[in-house]
Amino acid sequence: MNYTTQMDAAKKGIITKEMEIVSKKENIDVNILRQKIAEGKIVIPANKNHKSLNPEGVGEGLRTKINVNLGISKDCCNIEKELEKARVAIEMKAEAIMDLSCYGKTEEFRKKLINMSTAMIGTVPVYDAVGFYDKELKDISSEEFLKVIEKHAEDGVDFMTIHAGINRETAEVFKRNKRLTNIVSRGGSLLYAWMELNDRENPFYEHFDKILDICEKYDVTISLGDACRPGSINDATDASQIKELIVLGELTKRAWERNVQIIIEGPGHMPINEIAANMLLEKKLCHGAPFYVLGPIVTDIAPGYDHITSAIGGAIAAANGADFLCYVTPAEHLRLPTLEDMKEGIIATKIAAHAADIAKNIKGAKKWDYEMSKARQNLDWEKMFKLAIDPEKTRKYRKESMPQHEDSCSMCGKMCSMRNMNKVMKGKNINILREDD
């Protein structure tokens, strides 16, 4: 039986090879997986032209996935450096990489990235349009925007951020409800500016059916962009954000009618006490579609440490229903991340995702922690290193400050609770001030 997309196959009762792979990875019955894909609650972003892909599922009941942003810009346009970041991100088991390139040889970089990446690849076509045509934003036509989307799809991009929710109606709500930080989404601000400069509807909203034609042809998952995401905690859960979310829910249904898979993008900056309610709103208004969040960043005062503010918000968001976390690095709000920034961002986001998986009772999540605790109780340092989320750093810290007694660490020494409890539970004496008998 023929099918066009993973969702089309799922609705027809077909088990694809991608579904089989995800089923084994997630330890979930393949028929349950297929049913949730048919309902739109799980997606498998897998462009037909991405031949090196090792597919992943995103959505209800699955492990929380993480995405890494990278790409070339006018100020930092070294393709090899960005490809090296991609290689390291894949080694660190990031499930997705978004190419946010906005200057120079974007096509060359994108094709190299897709060819070498086993992780799913996402892009934001509106970023690429200005450089692709070498035109000012105002002069790019609706048809030209669509051509960029088709080019990315043809190249093998698995999911694309399409800011279709900021239509003229949403823009009017934004104008009537003043914000502290206006529109902070780069793609959203570009499309808002295009609409204002041309006095026309957002081409991604006006021609959404044509975008669906492209995505159905190549099986591209649409990540419906949150152009009105809050850029400060002051603007969180406001009229603009909620209005756009309502539009995204309407677009989701239109996409599902065409068997195009959908992810919904979300906040943004947000106080901790508003996160759970926002997860509930998205799932309700967007009919259970997978939710992809940037952070949320829970305070605005920590430039240089936003991988931490983001991980706090990400853990709470995913524990309350978010399915996909976009990493944030220490360089957020400051500059293009370095390789080391990227590593820190990945680790922080992986910690958040795993903490949420424990809360969501995802199969196997607690087993990792159980094995680590067992290794700690046994003072099995080598096992601890292997189980650590960052083995390199744990080995480094241990090596930099070796204790006198190897069955302890340099913080507690012979007062180590694990060491002493192991001894006393076996009926042995505990010698702290002198050598053991």
So what's the pLDDT on residue 430? 82
Whole-number average pLDDT of the chain? 95
Q: Judge if 297 and 192 occupy the same domain.
A: yes
Looking at 359, 374, 406, which one is the last position of a domain? 359
Q: Judge if 386 and 346 occupy the same domain.
A: no
Looking at 359, 374, 390, which one is the last position of a domain? 359
Residues 6 or more apart whose Cβ sits within 8 Å of residue 287? 40, 249, 252, 253
The predicted-structure confidence for 349-392, as pLDDT tens digits, reads as follows 999 999 999 999 999 999 999 999 999 999 999 999 999 999 99
The predicted-structure confidence for 226-256, as pLDDT tens digits, reads as follows 999 999 999 999 999 999 999 999 999 999 9
Is 69 within any annotated ligand binding site? yes
**H-run or E-run covering 246:** helix 239-257
Is 63 within any annotated ligand binding site? no
Q: Judge if 199 and 273 occupy the same domain.
A: yes
Q: Judge if 349 and 370 occupy the same domain.
A: no
Q: In 3-state terms, what secondary structure has residue 59?
A: strand
So what's the pLDDT on residue 401? 85
Output the domain CATH number for residue 230. 3.20.20.540
pLDDT at 75 over 90: no
98 part of a folded domain? yes
So what's the pLDDT on residue 235? 98
Q: Which pTM value belongs to this model? A: 0.94
196 part of a folded domain? yes
Is 110 within any annotated ligand binding site? no
Alpha-carbon distance 119 to 298, whole Å? Answer: 28
Q: Judge if 352 and 410 occupy the same domain.
A: no
pLDDT at 437 over 80: no
Is 205 within any annotated ligand binding site? no
221 part of a folded domain? yes
16 part of a folded domain? no
Q: Which domain holds residue 400?
A: 366-425
The predicted-structure confidence for 77-118, as pLDDT tens digits, reads as follows 788 999 999 999 999 999 999 999 877 778 999 999 999 999
Contact in structure between 80 and 110 (CB atoms under 8 Å) = no
Is 229 within any annotated ligand binding site? yes
More confident residue, 21 or 425: 21
Q: What is the mean pLDDT of residues 198-208?
A: 98
Strands 262-266 and 291-294: parallel
20 part of a folded domain? no
Q: Judge if 303 and 417 occupy the same domain.
A: no
Is 141 within any annotated ligand binding site? no
Q: Judge if 332 and 191 occupy the same domain.
A: yes
176 part of a folded domain? yes
Residue 89 to residues 96, 266, 426, Cα–Cα distance (Å): 9, 23, 45
So what's the pLDDT on residue 436? 62
**Chain mean position to CA 423:** 45
More confident residue, 221 or 135: 221
Q: What is the DSSP letter of 434?
A: S
Looking at 327, 359, 391, which one is the last position of a domain? 359
Q: What is the mean pLDDT of residues 43-59?
A: 98
Q: Judge if 396 and 335 occupy the same domain.
A: no
Q: Which token pair is 360?
A: 């969501």
Q: What is the mean pLDDT of residues 181-207?
A: 97
Is 409 within any annotated ligand binding site? yes
Name the domain count of the chain. 2
Percent of the chain with pLDDT over 90: 84
Q: Judge if 75 and 176 occupy the same domain.
A: yes
Q: Judge if 316 and 394 occupy the same domain.
A: no
Positive or negative torsion for Cα 338, 339, 344, 345: positive
For the stretch 181-201, what's the b/e string if a residue is b when 16 or more beta carbons lie within 10 angstroms of its beta carbon? eebbbbbbbbbbebbeeeeee
**H-run or E-run covering 86:** helix 79-91
30 part of a folded domain? no
Alpha-carbon distance 38 to 256, whole Å? Answer: 9
**Nearest-CA neighbor of 228 among 208, 243, 217?**
243
Q: Judge if 355 and 370 occupy the same domain.
A: no
Q: Judge if 411 and 280 occupy the same domain.
A: no
pLDDT at 267 over 60: yes
More confident residue, 418 or 279: 279
Is 416 within any annotated ligand binding site? yes
Residue 313 to residues 278, 318, 353, Cα–Cα distance (Å): 12, 9, 11
pLDDT at 175 over 60: yes
Is 23 within any annotated ligand binding site? no
So what's the pLDDT on residue 404? 77
Is 333 within any annotated ligand binding site? yes
- CA angle, residues 365, 43, 50, in degrees to nearest 5: 105
Q: What is the mean pLDDT of residues 317-325?
A: 98
228 part of a folded domain? yes
Is 207 within any annotated ligand binding site? no
The predicted-structure confidence for 117-167, as pLDDT tens digits, reads as follows 999 999 999 999 988 888 899 999 999 999 999 999 999 999 999 999 999
